[in-house]
Amino acid sequence: MIDAFVERHALFFVFFPLVWIGAIVTASVVFRRHRGKRIFATSPDGCIFEENRTSGRELGGIRALGGASNALKVCVTRDTLYVLPCFPFSLMFMPEIWGLDHEIKLRRIQTIEDRSGLFGHSLVVHLADDKRIELRLRDPDGFQHAIQAAGRT
């Protein structure tokens, strides 16, 4: 009886998950495009610091449980810090769920804290609205230098 049911509905069991995943990916692309967000992490004009495939997470609340490992692009321009999800992490609402798509005016940054822990060295960017973003960069000194240099202009 169960074998007959599975045999009759085998195509459904194969294709429904694929169609469902495709629908979620399509919905996330439409959502991001509608909000003016990028699907592919392209560098904004005038970058004075750029690092690809970095890791990070937003601290505080449930979002602290998640994050991105080697799936972020961090860019600093003369007035903005960009934390952008790299493809394919930009799909399936991952940046929206984990809070990892930011365009932050540098004047909102209060402090940058060095942190050493179990998973290595990271920087915690404290923002004016009590939001905190932890970034694990390969060149943390270059990042801090770029933030300071941009603040002087």
Q: pLDDT tens, 48-62?
A: 999 999 999 888 877
| pLDDT > 70 fraction of the chain, expressed in percent and rounded | 97
Report the alpha-carbon distance of residue 141 to residue 114 in Å, rounded.
10
Q: Which segment, 22-31, 38-47, 109-118, is predicted with the most confidence on average?
A: 22-31
* Model confidence band, residue 44 (pLDDT cutoffs 50, 70, 90): confident
- Report the b/e string of 33-42 with b at 16+ CB within 10 A: eeeebbeebe
pLDDT at 115 over 60: yes
pLDDT at 151 over 70: no
Please state the pTM of the whole predicted model: 0.82
Give pLDDT, residue 81: 92
Run of H or E including 12: helix 10-34
Dump the DSSP string for 107-127: GGEEEEEEEEETTEEEEEEEE
Asked if 147 and 112 count as a contact pair (C-beta separation under 8 A), the reply is yes
**Cα dist. 19→23, 25, 96 in Å?**
6, 10, 22
pLDDT at 3 over 80: no
Q: pLDDT tens, 5-20?
A: 777 777 887 888 899 9
Q: Where do we find the tokens 């970095």?
A: 54
DSSP 8-class letter at 43: P
